Structure formats: C-alpha cells, structure tokens
Amino acid sequence: MKAFFAIFRLEFVSMVRSRALLLLALFALAWMFAVPYLITGDGTAEGAREISIRYGFGGVFVITLVSLLATASGSIARERAAKRLPLTMVRPVAYSLVVFAKAAALTLSGAIVLAIACLPALRMSVDGRWHSSAKCNHVLQPLLPSPREEACVMYEVYMKDPETPPEVKRAKRSTVLRLLEARAMDHYQTIPTNETVKWKFNVSGLPGARKAIMGEGDDLPSVRLRLSNMNEVRQDVCGYLSIGKIHAVVSNQTLAVLTFPLSPRSDGGAAEENILSFRNDGSGTSLMLRPRKDVALLVPADAFVWNLFRAWCELVSILALTISFGLFLSSALGRPVALFSAIVILAVSEASPGVISQYPDELETKLSDRIALTVTRFVAEATQPVSSLNPLERLSLDECIEVPEVCRVAAVNLFLLPVLLSLLSGIVLPRKQDEV
C-alpha cells in the first residue's frame, strides 16, 4: 500500500504542479456560470435547469473526460519516452499496482473538478430558482414482457406467415430476433375513445411508494405520458387517470409529453394499488403510445442535492473506467498512437448507438455495410458500461438515479473494470518495455 500511495501522490502532485487541475477547475466554474448567459432558455425554471445541467455540467464533464483521457493515454507512454519508467519498474512494486495508482490519482483529479462544477448547480437549486423541482422522482415503468420475450413470440408468428419475405425466412434467427427486439421497444398500444387501458406497476420495491399511492403523505405521485395519434396532428386529449386512492382528470391537453400530478380521490374509493388505468374520454381519433417508453409513474424521492451527488458518483465512475482504458492503451502503445486510439474509440463509442438505431435493418444492406454494422455493434456493446449511462439527462428531468444502480455502476466502473484493466496493463507493460 505504501507503494500505491507513493505513485498515487506523485501522479496527483503532477496534476497539481502542471496546473492542469487548476485550469480544469477554473474552466468548470467559469463554464457553469457562463452557460445560463450564453444559451437562452424558454423562460421556465425547468428550461433553466436543463440548460445548466445538460450544457453546463455536461460541458464540464465532456472537457474533463477528454482531457483526463488524453492525460491517461499519455501518462505511461510519456514516462517510458522520458526513460523514467524503468526507475519505477525496478522497484519492488507490482506493475499493475503502478497503473492502478495512476488511475486512482487521475480519477481523484476528475472527481474534484466535477465536485467544483456541482457547487453552482447546488446553489441554483437552493436559492429557489428551481423551486418546482426541489425533489426528484423514482421512475416506474409498466410491468410488461421483456422485448426479448415479445420478439420470440413475434418470431414464431412471423416465420409461419406465408407473406413473410423469403430472405427474412432464410436469415439467421439471431439477426431476425434482434430486429424484432428493437421493434418491440417501439411497439404501440392503441387507446380507442371511451375505452380504458391498464398498466401494472411493481411498487413493492420502493419504500413509501405504496403509501403515496394510497394518498397518504404530502408528496403524491405523478404520471408521465407521451401521447400521439395515427395522423400526427394536434389533438386535445381528455381522460381520466387513477391508481390506488389518487387520480387526475385530463382535460384539453395538447398531444405531447405530459406530466399529470395525481391527487386524492374525492369519492374516497380506491382502485388496485399497483394498476394504473387511463380512460380516453376524447372525442377525436384513438390515442397511441408505446408502453415501454411513453408511460411512467413518478413517485417522489429525495432532494435534488442527493440526486446530484448520485449523478456525480456515476460520472466519476465513468471517468475512472475511461482513465483506466487510457492507461491501458498507454501501457501498450506509444504516446501519439495511444492518444489517437483513445479519442477515436471514445468518438465511435459515443456515435455507435445512434448509428445502429438509425441504420437500415441488416437484412436490407450490402455485405460491406453489414460488416461495418457488426463492428459498430461490437464497439457499442463493448462500451455499453459507459455509453448506456445517462445520469445528466435524468438529473435534468428530475428522475431519481437509484442507489442500487449507483452501487452497481461504482462497483463495476470504479473498481472491477479498472482493476481488470490494470492487471492487463501489468502484463503488457514489461512486454512493451522489452521493445524499447
């Protein structure tokens, strides 16, 4: 451990004395204060919050991520080029510990910068500008079969259908299933006029949620719906929402993402506590929504400050994994190649989910496109531990970043994967040194 702290301290002192940490911290503060003046919002508190978090905090995170990735991917390679690395390697310290200690020091630097960026965000939440969003919400999705299960059912039906194109029938089962799974996520449910739909929720895992649904306590749940119709035209929505002992009357709302606060029922009656029902009372055409994406029960959770803290934990975990990857590249490659590879992989990992979702089905493409799509999908899957996390988006929408998720992300991204990458770096490091 003494060796770990010696290397950790050296790397951190290097960040401080090279003024890299100071510059990043000053940038973070300046950017957080400047963004509300640089980007014009819609005049609402929610708009101001979204700008500050997405563009302010998000900008600080991106700059910190890129600069620390560049530092990490140059760190060991620079030491090697300056011939200082052998002086560490001949000491009685495991090579993987050298890499892990460096990763820890760079992660601490990033954590400090992000914490500094949190301060203006915190002030804005306390002084009342965001009074409407003092609390965040647990977001519950309806209990439905998984997209995979739905895809399997659809596959059997699809294959028996004589109208299914022969090229689809010839295609690999896994490919068709993947496409059907993607479609299952966007599966629409129709709500005809004067009919009621019901969605089941699991509220047992959230302490206090059942109480809130039964209309007890000060903070009552809301329902978020994203409604549309067949013709994609403006249409007023009328209806009635209820769950447990709380309800909301929906009247003359324009199609959009709508959040309906629920209140105790005046008639004192009660529906089932885990079934949300929505009756379409509108006189227009049927309404449509995707239950997996467009229906959410929002149960009040804790204060914004705690949600910010959890978002910070997730962001630090992402930094830790990215830095460890940069150090791994630095152990295996020379500085320019490591830096170039790190930036390219970062860019591809960010872009790949968008490419996959927007690209035509594999069955409709040429061989060269299929190869490129396979590579992109591999990168997307390999970088999923980082790219699938979106704490800032959820923070800006006041969605609670759940504690079990934060623990899982921290265990994997802050500890497990960095340790694994450090061990790999420890194997690569002497082999690369052998080439020098």
| Smallest separation, CB 391 to other proteins (Å) | 34
C-beta separation of 73 from 82 below 8 A: no
CB-wise, 17 or 200, nearer to other proteins? 17
CB-wise, 12 or 31, nearer to other proteins? 12
Closest C-alpha to 70, from 271, 272, 335: 335
Query: Who contacts 108 (Cβ-Cβ below 8 Å, separation ≥6)?
Result: 8, 12
CB-wise, 17 or 173, nearer to other proteins? 17
Amino acid at 220: L
C-beta separation of 117 from 143 below 8 A: no
| Smallest separation, CB 341 to other proteins (Å) | 17
Tell me the C-alpha to C-alpha distance, in Å, between residue 423 and each of 325, 418, 428, 434.
12, 9, 9, 18
Alpha carbon of residue 367 to chain centroid: 32
Closest C-alpha to 435, from 136, 77, 31, 9: 77
Tell me the three state secondary structure of residue 246: strand
The rounded distance, in Å, linking the Cα atoms of 406 and 54 is 19
Applying CB under 8 A, the residues found at the interface with other proteins are 2-3, 5-7, 9-10, 13-14, 17-18, 82-84, 86-94, 430, 433-434
| Smallest separation, CB 433 to other proteins (Å) | 6
| Smallest separation, CB 66 to other proteins (Å) | 23
N- to C-terminal Cα separation, the chain: 29
Whole-angstrom Cα Rg for the chain: 26
| Smallest separation, CB 336 to other proteins (Å) | 16
CB-wise, 167 or 435, nearer to other proteins? 435
| Smallest separation, CB 13 to other proteins (Å) | 7
CB-wise, 11 or 294, nearer to other proteins? 11
Tell me the C-alpha to C-alpha distance, in Å, between residue 416 and each of 50, 317, 402, 412.
32, 11, 20, 5
| Smallest separation, CB 19 to other proteins (Å) | 10
Q: How many H helices and E strands in the chain?
A: 18, 12
CB-wise, 5 or 188, nearer to other proteins? 5
CB-wise, 84 or 172, nearer to other proteins? 84
